[in-house]
């Protein structure tokens, strides 16, 4: 059966739902098609860190604009607000990465982020359970923390529905239709949706969908493990969130006595339709030992649970947020590696501005255009230090 839609958004992660909501706010009542359930992709496996420490301006600004939304959801979006938990965020670099950390710090300050370098003595006061070593450099973001990625997708979807959009789950898009250089709609197993606007926000599945109409997009997937360790509260009562580039781990507290830890040193190419979502015990040991170099008291904790999720990444580890050249009305929003959750409110606004007005206003997203892989103007992370979640 053929239906019509003002716009079709493919994918019910934080990006698709944010785009749907932001379009609805601008008067476009779209239809979101999700093959499984909301948050079924990277969104449902995200560690949820919300911080602004980045090495390029475009990502720093997307995170900063989004941060205001997370902190003031009731007024900015409305409806049921997903949780935002302020823990502070610490970026720690060894001597070799110090220059990169300071570059990121200056960039963040220029954007307006409340962040500054702290001495090792001050860092130890902020995080008494941590051990610091001579020559390490520490940046502190007092206002940062973490949020609830699936809850964020649910909340965007609920608000979009209230504004007249539709969210249809268990409805995989099987193909995109084009005619004479413009998009005309999409097909699912049982329906055909005719629409002049189609936005592909299908995370790791984006290249497959686009390859069906001959559009190549350089996004590949890697598998990343995340673990939860139950702390002994007498050894580590609490700690801030952070990234430790010296030991290649990122972490944050969860609830009262759990610590989430992810890693930055193992990436395995993965097939999104057939990857191992379970944690591996040998790798747990490796990550745990590295975390214990920073938080010695965590060595006596207990393994609680773990899982693996997929990062969808482009060659310069920046997403692609753009109109697709040569196919009018078709847009792509994917390739967010390990950092899309915290950028999703601003990305949705930028995409809606691009669709309705031809250019994004919230943040200049020209560095995220699709053509950069052809013309060679890739984003460069020119310092050794780059953050990993």
- Using the rule CB under 6 A, which residue among 23, 52, 160, 209 binds ligand FAD? 209
Is residue 309 close enough to count as binding ligand FAD by CB under 6 A?
A: yes
Could you tell me the smallest distance in angstroms from the CB atom of residue 383 to ligand FAD?
Answer: 20
- Window of 33-41, 94-102, 124-132, 374-382 that interacts with ligand FAD by CB under 6 A: 33-41
Q: Is position 341 an interface residue for ligand FAD (rule: CB under 6 A)?
A: yes
By CB under 6 A, name the one of 5, 28, 48, 314 that touches ligand FAD: 48
Question: What is the 3 state secondary structure string of 257-290?
Answer: CEEEEEECCCCEECCCCCCCCCCCHHHHHHHHHH
CA distances from 208 to 71, 188, 352 (A): 35, 15, 23
DSSP β-ladder status, 31-33 and 166-168: parallel
Position 280 contacts ligand FAD (CB under 6 A): no
Cβ distance to ligand FAD smaller for residue 98 or 178:
178
**Shortest distance (Å) from residue 125 CB to ligand FAD:** 25
The one segment of 83-91, 212-220, 292-300, 333-341 that binds ligand FAD by CB under 6 A: 333-341
Q: Is the dihedral of CA 210, 212, 217, 218 positive or negative?
A: positive
Which of 224, 231, 290, 294 contacts ligand FAD by CB under 6 A? 224
Q: Are 322 and 351 in contact (CB under 8 A)?
A: no
Note whether 298 binds ligand FAD by CB under 6 A: no
Interface with ligand FAD (CB under 6 A), residue from 107, 154, 160, 310: 310
Q: Which is nearer to ligand FAD, 296 or 304 (CB)?
A: 304
Could you say whether residue 183 binds ligand FAD (CB under 6 A)? no
Distance CA 55, CA 59 (A): 8
Tokens of 336: 């967010």
14 touches ligand FAD by CB under 6 A: yes
> Which residues are registered as beta bridge partners of 243?
91, 250
Complex with ligand FAD: residue 185 or 340, whichever CB lies closer: 340
> Is-contact 249 225, C-beta < 8 A?
no
Q: Is 339 in the site for ligand FAD (CB under 6 A)?
A: yes
What is the Cα–Cα distance from 65 to 195, expressed in whole angstroms?
30
Residues 144-173 that bind ligand FAD (CB under 6 A): 149, 172-173
Tokens of 71: 């902190």
Give exposure, 82-120, as e/b (b: 16+ Cβ within 10 Å): bebeebbbbbbbbeebbebbbbbbebbeebebebeebeb
Q: What residue ranges bind ligand FAD (CB under 6 A)?
A: 10-16, 33-36, 40-43, 45-49, 149, 172-173, 201-205, 209, 224, 226, 262, 309-311, 334, 336, 338-342, 389
């Amino acid at each position: 059966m053929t239906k019509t839609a003002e716009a079709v958004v493919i994918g019910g992660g934080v990006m698709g739902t944010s785009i749907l909501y932001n379009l609805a706010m601008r008067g476009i009542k779209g239809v979101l098609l999700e093959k499984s359930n909301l948050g079924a992709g990277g969104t449902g496996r995200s560690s949820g860190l919300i911080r602004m420490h980045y090495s390029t301006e475009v990502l720093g600004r997307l995170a900063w604009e989004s941060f205001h939304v997370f902190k003031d959801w009731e007024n900015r979006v409305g409806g049921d607000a997903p949780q935002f938990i302020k823990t502070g965020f610490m970026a720690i670099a060894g001597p070799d990465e110090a220059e990169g950390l300071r570059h990121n710090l200056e960039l963040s300050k220029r954007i307006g982020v409340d962040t500054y370098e702290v001495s090792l003595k001050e860092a130890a006061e902020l995080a008494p359970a941590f051990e610091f070593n001579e020559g390490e450099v520490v940046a502190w973001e007092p206002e940062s923390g973490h949020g609830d990625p699936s809850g964020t997708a649910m909340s965007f979807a609920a608000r979009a529905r209230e504004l007249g959009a539709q969210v249809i789950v268990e409805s995989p898009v099987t193909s995109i239709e084009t005619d004479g250089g413009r998009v005309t709609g999409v097909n699912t197993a049982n329906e055909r949706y005719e629409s002049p606007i189609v936005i592909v926000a299908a995370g790791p599945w984006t290249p497959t969908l686009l390859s069906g109409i001959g559009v190549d997009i350089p996004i590949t997937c890697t598998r990343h493990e995340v673990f939860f360790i139950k702390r002994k509260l007498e050894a580590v009562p609490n700690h801030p969130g952070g990234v430790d580039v010296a030991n290649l781990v990122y972490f944050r507290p969860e609830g009262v006595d759990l610590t989430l830890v992810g890693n930055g040193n193992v990436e395995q190419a993965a097939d999104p339709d057939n990857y191992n979502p379970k944690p591996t015990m040998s790798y747990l040991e490796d990550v745990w030992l590295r975390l214990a170099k920073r938080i010695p008291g965590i060595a006596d904790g207990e393994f609680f649970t773990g899982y693996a999720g997929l990062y969808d990444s482009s060659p310069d580890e920046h997403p692609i947020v753009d109109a697709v050249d040569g196919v009018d009305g078709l847009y792509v929003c994917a390739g967010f590696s390990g950092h899309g959750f915290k950028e999703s409110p601003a990305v949705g606004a930028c995409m809606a501005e691009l669709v309705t007005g031809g250019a994004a206003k919230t943040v200049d997203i020209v560095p995220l255009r699709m053509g950069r892989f052809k013309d060679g103007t890739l984003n460069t992370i020119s310092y050794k230090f780059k953050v990993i979640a």
